[in-house]
Amino acid sequence: MHELLQPDTGKPLLLLGNEAIVRGALEGNVRFVAAYPGTPSSEILDRFYQLAGEADVYVEYSVNEKVSLEMSCAAAVSGVRSLCSMKHVGLNVAADAFMTLAYVGVQAGMVIVSADDPSLHSSQNEQDNRYYAKMAGVPMLEPSTPEEAKAMTLMGLDLSEKYRIPVMLRTTTRVNHCRGPVRLGTLPEQRPSASFRKDPFNLVVVPMVGRRLRLLLLEKLAGLQQAAEQSPLNFTAGDGRWGIVTSGVSYLYVRDAIQDLKLEDRVKVLKIGFSHPHPKTLFQDFLQSVDKVLVVEELEPYLEEAIKVAAQEAGVTVPIAGKGADFIPRAFELDAVKVKKAVSRHFGVPYDPPKVFSIPELPQRPPNLCPGCPHRATFYAIKKTFGQDAVYPTDIGCYTLGLLPPLNMADFLICMGSSVSTAGGFSKVLTQPVIAYIGDSTFFHAGVPGLINAVANNHHFLLVVLDNGTTAMTGHQPNPGMELTKEGKIAPRVSIEAVVKGCGVERVFTANPLQVKKTQETIGQIKAAMAEPGVSVLISKSPCPLHERRMTGKKQKVVFAVADSCDLCRQCLDELGCPAFVWEEGGETSACIRIDPALCSGCSVCSQICSSIKPKRLEKASQAE
């Protein structure tokens, strides 16, 4: 039995925030889950995928967030409780559906998890998605801990069903990827039956329907505001004439700050868990009960602005501080020390921040493409032919790491799918060659419209589809082009080559990048073909070795080693940049280049570019795990 399906034994489980959300959804009888993976949200769908059969839940990895949200809403409109999760920027992709779904609403409970990433641990920006709830008019719950994440998933489903509107569960990395004790509830056994009631004048949003639904949404929001005012998720703790308003993980930093600064008798905290619509009366009552207020929240002054509006309307003039150089920073995550500093300054209590030891400048340890990664071989071959002068728009996936030296194969990136469309734009204004990189999963996610556009408008660039057969960066989730499964190799449900040709591209090439010479010949042909304007596509196809090993159990047979004939030309280090290579300064002996046998994956690419690199058969024993 999957860990998340076990019955309550009275003992709490140490669950990841994301796992707690899954358990909450299961206890809330969610039977339909669709999502596109993205850190820090991925484990929600991954866990559902693992337990789908056992729990009788429909689970799918959708091609993108918009599709996943539309899938989930169809289920909820048909009376089946659903959940859809995405990283914060995923909601940008799904925003079109999100905004109007708020009008149309749902029949059964639907929770949309938006996993924000303050400090950009694994993201391109740190946008604050609480404003999406406000913009769409969708109720929002913000947990602080895994325990709350589970409880709020359940409450969100009920709230959604009661008000017939999707609920946003807004988490941050420190909730999604925090592990804490979670108490279990009971799992329902009865599966709800689905039915769709035809009601086009409420479900088909033409302007006349939209106008009425707009007014209905405002009515729902008025009711939801009352719900927020009464909600046990918004509560005060402690007593005193100083006030702190906070939400999410910041609440935990505030509690620690109050304890460490010994302010238990002087500070009253208003913890906001139900943060849209704003509980305005609650804010006003709180403001009237204190002499001074500090708002502690990560990223934007979302609560702070609402509280200042509430203060103005109630004619309350207590000083309210929040964002600002002296108080709560707007950029990046908070921590207990940042909060203690702000609390000490605002309320004038002494605090000695810890003296932080300084360290010398140290060698960096950036993440890198793995040894044997086929992307490296593709980058190498393209660079050999097109050089550093070409412009290389890239996209989001492991291959974004091609940014780092010595590959330097990334010049521009803003979001999923931007490689293809920006390549078109670059090609219209620049004279040098434009070569765009996109991964297989990202191609399905957001690359196809850009490619159709490029063909239709006769853009002039080469699109390289780095097809490793999986969504590797987020943990090897399946995608429509997947071929390797635990059950063996299957024909892909959707062939990238067929899609590319279907988009109208005529110059379509394929290569296996691990065959260096053949790949370079193909790229030579592409370069010649690019003398004529138009779109060319190279599908560079070789499975992610980690994924391949996991799916097929394929064992490595050889490692490569540098022979004595090496003349230290450094081509391997300076052009390929495989992390298995080591430059040894020597000392008494002369310098040398070595391949770390523990890291070498046996891909053989290096031996194809240098005659001094030779294979060595692995002994049977060391092949064992």
Partner 1 sequence: MTLDIREQTHMSSDMNMANIGIRIFFTGVGGQGTLLATRLVGEAALKEGLPVTISEIHGMAQRGGVVESSVAIGNILSPTIADGEADVLMAFEPLETLRALPKCYAGTLVISNTTPIIPFTVSTGKSVYPSEDAIYGPVAASVARLLRVPALKLAREAGSDLASNMVMLGVLAGTCRLPIGGNSWQAVMRERLPQRILAVNLKAFALGLELASQQT
Residue ranges that bind partner 1, judged by CB under 8 A: 12, 14, 16, 39-40, 42-43, 121-122, 145, 173-174, 177-181, 249, 252-253, 255-256, 259, 333, 335-338, 353-360, 362-370, 398, 401, 405-406, 473-475, 573-574, 577, 579, 581-583, 585
Residue 365 or 617 with smaller CB distance to partner 1 = 365
Give the SS3 label for residue 386: helix
Residue 12 or 188 with smaller CB distance to partner 1 = 12
Residue 359 or 528 with smaller CB distance to partner 1 = 359
Q: How far is the CB of 178 from partner 1 (least distance, A)?
A: 4
Burial of 314 (0-12, 13-18, 19+ CB in 10 A): middle
Distance between CA 385 and CA 519 in Å, rounded?
Answer: 11
Burial of 454 (0-12, 13-18, 19+ CB in 10 A): buried
Q: How far is the CB of 78 from partner 1 (least distance, A)?
A: 34
Residue 18 or 519 with smaller CB distance to partner 1 = 18
Residues 318, 293: contact at Cβ < 8 Å?
yes
Residue 107 or 246 with smaller CB distance to partner 1 = 246
Q: CB-based contacts of 285: which residues, under 8 Å, 6+ apart?
A: none
Q: How far is the CB of 13 from partner 1 (least distance, A)?
A: 9
Give, in order, the Cα–Cα distances in Å from 451 to each of 208, 448, 455, 502: 35, 5, 6, 10
Give the SS3 label for residue 102: helix
Angle subtended at Cα 92 by Cα 86 and Cα 97, rounded to the nearest 5 degrees:
85
Q: How far is the CB of 395 from partner 1 (least distance, A)?
A: 15
The DSSP secondary structure of 303-366, one letter per residue, reads HHHHHHHHHHHHT----EE-BSTTSB-SSS---HHHHHHHHHHHHT----PPPPPP--------
Residue 337 or 415 with smaller CB distance to partner 1 = 337
Q: CB-based contacts of 206: which residues, under 8 Å, 6+ apart?
A: none
Distance between CA 447 and CA 443 in Å, rounded?
Answer: 4
User: Would you state the structure tokens that stand for residue 1, as one six-digit string?
Assistant: 């039995």
User: Would you state the structure tokens that stand for residue 420, as one six-digit string?
Assistant: 């293809």
Q: CB-based contacts of 11: which residues, under 8 Å, 6+ apart?
A: none
User: Would you state the structure tokens that stand for residue 395, as one six-digit string?
Assistant: 């996209």
Closest CA to 391 of 350, 439, 426: 426
Residue 99 or 599 with smaller CB distance to partner 1 = 599
Strands 167-172, 140-141: parallel, antiparallel or unpaired by DSSP?
parallel
Distance between CA 449 and CA 461 in Å, rounded?
Answer: 15
Q: How far is the CB of 418 from partner 1 (least distance, A)?
A: 18
Residues 307, 320: contact at Cβ < 8 Å?
yes
Residue 52 or 337 with smaller CB distance to partner 1 = 337
Distance between CA 556 and CA 493 in Å, rounded?
Answer: 28
Q: How far is the CB of 69 from partner 1 (least distance, A)?
A: 22
Residue 585 or 619 with smaller CB distance to partner 1 = 585
User: Would you state the structure tokens that stand for residue 573, as one six-digit string?
Assistant: 């280090």
The DSSP secondary structure of 292-313, one letter per residue, reads EEEEE-SSS-HHHHHHHHHHHH
Name residue 535's beta-bridge partners.
Answer: 461
Residue 194 or 404 with smaller CB distance to partner 1 = 404
Residue 250 or 540 with smaller CB distance to partner 1 = 250
Strands 292-296, 242-247: parallel, antiparallel or unpaired by DSSP?
parallel
- 543 cis-preceded (ω within 30 degrees of 0): no
Q: How far is the CB of 257 from partner 1 (least distance, A)?
A: 9
Q: How far is the CB of 42 from partner 1 (least distance, A)?
A: 8
Residue 253 or 327 with smaller CB distance to partner 1 = 253
Residue 11 or 620 with smaller CB distance to partner 1 = 11
Q: How far is the CB of 149 from partner 1 (least distance, A)?
A: 12
Angle subtended at Cα 46 by Cα 41 and Cα 52, rounded to the nearest 5 degrees:
130
Sheet holding 267-272, edge to edge: 234-237, 267-272, 242-247, 292-296, 320-321
Q: How far is the CB of 532 from partner 1 (least distance, A)?
A: 38
Q: How far is the CB of 362 from partner 1 (least distance, A)?
A: 6
Residue 19 or 161 with smaller CB distance to partner 1 = 19
User: Would you state the structure tokens that stand for residue 230, as one six-digit string?
Assistant: 């009464």
Q: How far is the CB of 208 from partner 1 (least distance, A)?
A: 46
Closest CA to 447 of 383, 396, 523: 396
Task: Give 469's Cβ-side CA count (13 Å radius).
Answer: 22
Q: How far is the CB of 100 from partner 1 (least distance, A)?
A: 31
Residue 386 or 581 with smaller CB distance to partner 1 = 581
Measured between its terminal Cα atoms, the distance across the chain in Å is 26
> Within 10 Å of residue 512's Cβ, how many Cβ atoms?
15
Q: How far is the CB of 22 from partner 1 (least distance, A)?
A: 16
Residue 55 or 473 with smaller CB distance to partner 1 = 473
Q: How far is the CB of 367 from partner 1 (least distance, A)?
A: 4
